[in-house]
Structure 1
Amino acid sequence: MRIILIGAPASGKGTQAKLISEKYNIPKISTGDILRENIQINNEIGKKIRNILKNGELVSNEIVCELIKKRIQKKDCINGFLLDGFPRTKKQAEYIFNLRIKIDYILEFIVPHQLILKRICGRRVHIPSGRIYNIHYNPPIEEGKDDITKEKLQIREDDKNDIVKKRLENYEENIYSLTQYISKKKNIKYFRINGKESILNIYKKIETLLNKE
């Protein structure tokens, strides 16, 4: 099973991707995770990515596509995979389809921008462990501190209000041409998902869609 999840930042893709990945035993491939891994390694490409994200810009199609291609060529993707947040542009979609890899499902998550801003700007991260909190939905026991280590929580550079607004603008510039392109693809089941609902309700709906076959 090969699945693509698309949607604005913080539309719920990552949460559902994890659940789907575990249920169907396919690797979750997140553009964000791959980009952050390179940033952490601090290699040449990682330094480039860091500067791009810091300014709220989108990482170029060339960089993202090459990183994704390398990942889906690994052995664990032979029986399927889930792409979380890729493609983000029509060019990226053309790239993935030109690889002649069969895609079974595309799920697009729809969430109002005001809710997205609340979700992202409320995020607090414990950098060493990767634990994520949200001051509105999942606050730490002690304000500003990790529940386990009591170390200070951080706001990621790309989670700041001005940067998030810019990311959403970039997303809107690309989403129309992307969805127009993929909706015309034959033999792919394309569904829109209401991302405002609870995690469990969204997951149940997705499970029903995937189990119809």
Structure 2
Amino acid sequence: MINIVLFGKPGAGKGTQAEFLKEKYNLTHLSTGDIFRFNIKNDTDLGKLAKTYMDKGDLVPDEVTIQMLQSEVDKNPHSAGFLFDGFPRTLAQAEALDKFLESKDQNITATVALEADDNILVARLLERGKTSGRPDDQDEEKIRNRYDEYNQKTAPLMDYYKAQGKFHSVNGIGTILEVNERLNQIFDKL
């Protein structure tokens, strides 16, 4: 079983590349953003709990996020593997994911970070914001705040996975197909 963590700053192309990778490698794509939206929209117990935090402007606690993710993994027992997109975001989440996968006799196979210059990513998100309707993609200050949070909380995961020999960095600038080819070079070796 292949379990991949795909991460990078907002706008780096994770969602776009995940679509290609899940098809080619027959992986179940688990996007925390999609999982949150599904649980909230469908008024699940975990969705209601997450919404209580979000309505106050607070971050959803790790344990709630982890429970949602575990539920999705459990719903796909025959999957060839998982592509984790947007999770883990913190060291505590990475450790919890490792522990959860170990309980299923699995582990993270590799982590791949899509790297790109902040100014290029800001321009991408502002452009996306024109059509996505997402307010967080329409305000440069909010975008840069998201990058600060990424640098503080998510970037340290690189060292965590480097220590395990599972970290790969990929240049996220170029055409969709160019970036996809760079990712395939890593995935084909797993």
Answer whether TM exceeds 0.5 for this pair: yes
Instruction: Call closer, same or farther: CA 1:112–1:91 in 2, change over 3 Å.
Output: same
Residues 49-71 of structure 1 deviation map (CA, whole Å, 9 limit, x = unaligned)? 6436xx5x643322211111111
Instruction: Call closer, same or farther: CA 1:49–1:118 in 2, change over 3 Å.
Output: farther
The 5 Å alignment of 1:21-170 reads 21-42=22-43, 43-45=47-49, 47-48=51-52, 50-51=54-55, 58-76=59-77, 78-99=79-100, 100=102, 101-124=106-129, 135=130, 155-161=133-139, 162-170=141-149
Question: What amino acid is the match of 1:184?
Answer: A
- CA–CA distance in structure 1, aligned partners of residues 119 and 53 of structure 2: 27
Instruction: Call closer, same or farther: CA 1:211–1:72 in 2, change over 3 Å.
Output: same
Aligned to 1:210: 187
Residues 135-182 of structure 1 deviation map (CA, whole Å, 9 limit, x = unaligned)? 5xxxxxxxxxxxxxxxxx662133231322221111111133211111
TM-score between the two structures when normalised by the length of structure 2: 0.84
SS at match of 1:106: strand
- CA–CA distance in structure 2, aligned partners of residues 116 and 37 of structure 1: 27
- CA–CA distance in structure 1, aligned partners of residues 175 and 71 of structure 2: 34
Instruction: Call closer, same or farther: CA 1:169–1:29 in 2, change over 3 Å.
Output: same
The answer to whether the 8 A contact 2:28-2:80 is kept is no
Structure number having the greater helix percentage: 2
When Rg is computed on C-alpha atoms for both structures, the one with the higher figure is 1
Q: CA RMSD in A?
A: 2.2
- CA–CA distance in structure 1, aligned partners of residues 29 and 121 of structure 2: 22
State how many pairs are aligned. 181
Instruction: Call closer, same or farther: CA 1:93–1:120 in 2, change over 3 Å.
Output: same
Identity score, percent = 30
Give the ranges of 4+ consecutive aligned residues of structure 1 lying more than 6 Å apart after TM superposition: none
Question: What amino acid is the match of 1:210?
Answer: F
Runs (5+) with no aligned partner, structure 1: 125-134, 136-152
TM-score between the two structures when normalised by the length of structure 1: 0.76
Instruction: Call closer, same or farther: CA 1:170–1:5 in 2, change over 3 Å.
Output: same
SS at match of 1:75: coil
- CA–CA distance in structure 2, aligned partners of residues 154 and 110 of structure 1: 22
Question: What amino acid is the match of 1:107?
Answer: V
- CA–CA distance in structure 2, aligned partners of residues 169 and 196 of structure 1: 20
Aligned to 1:148: none
Shift of 1:40: 2.6
